Structure 1
Amino acid sequence: MKKPDIPQNENERLKELRSLNILDSEQEKDFDELVELASIICGVPISLVTLIDADRQWFKSNKGLSTDSTPRDVSFCGHAINGEDVFIIENAVADKRFYDNPLVTDDPNIRFYAGMPIKSENGYNLGTLCVIDSKPKKLSETQIKALKILGGQASKLIELRDKKLKLESINEKLESLNQLNSQITSIISHDLKGPINSMRAYLNSNYIDANNPEELAQLFPLVKNNLNSLNELVENLLEWSRSTNEVNLTEVNVKETVLEICSLFEGNALDKGIELKCGIGDNLRVKADLAMIRFIMRNLINNAIKFTENGKVEVDIEKTEVHQAIIKVIDTGVGIPNDLLERIKLKDKKVSTKGTRNEKGTGLGLQLVREFLSIHKTELNIESEEGEGSTFSFALPLA
């Protein structure tokens, strides 16, 4: 048996194939009708739209076979993609390349094969439109011409499918941007005005004597809290706006990232008598967007410190059997009452509560954390008991 040769442009070809997001996709009527027509025209029981992956041929549409793929090294289509014309085997048992091929000696007992390469818009042979029979066969010139035309139609269907997916993606992004614009407008009109109006009210108040240092000193905690709240809100809004750009998935060293973020909060933890433990042991690497992971860790660690006094905040990580890393932020703080926990778990709700020292929050940070985790196809898990502390955790795939 002769294995198919690997095309010289194999790396580029595979990159093109995978960029189309068609491998392992659902069955589609247009492709099914194409193979049905090929089967009728050529008078054969089996017809396929195949796509040649690195080590398999996968069937986008399948008439007459009970499987959805076969190994590439025994495939007839693997040979066909090395040419530009219809690849025809009229009697496989009489051909030294195929007579001992397991697809010939065993089910589906191929004798006749004809496959027309399916070409991408950029000129790469992705797979074939092929017809198969368990009996030797010879196609007429009309049938060969029809197979060429149908192969061209399969190429066009893949192009149209790709353009449709891209248009859907653009529409989804536009819709997301419209929602983002509405949300930011709402936040600016409500949350941003709140701290500003609060400071203005006190500064313009007749209850404070500007010439009395003691009364002025009473304003400092208020101004500090409101400015911190404003700063947090602006940072979150900026981070949210950046998230509308393309996601950049890279290998992220979890230990390095956690230590970097924890160093930002050492002063806050010391001020509140908190033991901040971030000494993760293993140098695990996950596949994630580094900027988003930094934001997630900043928010979760900051929240843990906000709701803890004279206790402990710890970052832990576990490696699972399903090739994931579970990252946990654990605190011994005030915990979350059940009714508030239920509100927090309603993912479309923005909940803001004050910390142990009346630190204000916007509620936007947790909402963004969830959104960023959703982009990573994971979610935030929350476990908490009032008076005992809380654990916030999420999973990421190991790199």
Structure 2
Amino acid sequence: MKAEAPAGQIDRLKDLYDLHVLDTDPEDKFEDVVKLASQICGMPISLVSLVSDDRQWFKASVGMEAPETPIEQAICAHAILEDDFLEITDTRVDSRTHDNPLVTGPDNLRFYAGAVLRTSRGNPIGTLCVLDTKPNELTELQRETLRVLARQVMAQLELRRALREAEVLRREVDHRVKNSLQSVSAMTRMQARSVKSEEAREALDLTRRRIETVALLHQQLYSAQDGNHVAVDDFLPRVAQLLQNSVPDRISIDCKVDQVTLTAAHAAALGVIVNEFTANSVKHGFGEDQSGTISFDLHREAPDLAILTCQDTGTGLSDTKPATPGMGLRIIDASAHQLGGSSQIESTGEGLRVTIRIPLDPAADATISDQRVASRANG
């Protein structure tokens, strides 16, 4: 006998689809649950069964080869009409199952017990169930074990939903922050054009570049599949392009970056370093009419180490300049420590050079690399 649709079927199905679990690949954490349920209950078959409008689909299974059955054959469709549990000791004599093809046919399912999978919104979406090919009966301990395991299944599914919702919220925050910072940057640019003091104009321009770098970082985070990490080989060249648009035409900015991944906080520190080095070079390294180049080279020295070299072709640090670094170079040194590394500042015969050692997390880099491959494959 086909089960009646539960009350609130539309909301129930919406809740089920919102979990994004139907037709997903097998996973060990769910397979382990059905194996444990089968062993504890002494049953040859155990399923994590999700009941849709036209079928029941098995997220995990032991002893059942078919990945799903039509809704007309779904004993779990009867179970979700119960408060939390359904046990049928002999399916051949129960009016709900006596004519079910899974009972009358070669599968010969004679016993069923299922704990209802109920979402945090109160909707029954399926069961964790065990089945046997002969009449049977569970002990109270076995019933309670099924209930506990069913709650663990739902805890996993609800956690995934919460993480997806948090990711959507994070992306929205990054998007709004980026837009807000771009508005502030535009206002700062207009303010810089109106001030008469050259010193004030320089300060506003530096502030604007910092704001634009942070806005770009949030844009990268908004676009990233992993919102905690940034692909620096995409981020840093974009920062360099922003800087190129704001420095005098006589100064060019070069940027070479290996495939490297950093956390959002470390990428922000890297942006500060590039901004401060550029501002320092433009202000102190080049004369009023002097042309030259500012270059940034980030290369992977080892799986867990990257080296950033910031260099200009300016005048460097002369003997007449203060022995202690200026504010910009002190900010660079502080940012290097924020990266967990160290900085070396030296004046060469060809200008100023800052070398920074940056520790890397190879595992995070591998995750971003896998996501890139998947993105290209899907694209």
TM-score scaled by length of structure 2:
0.48
TM-score scaled by length of structure 1:
0.46
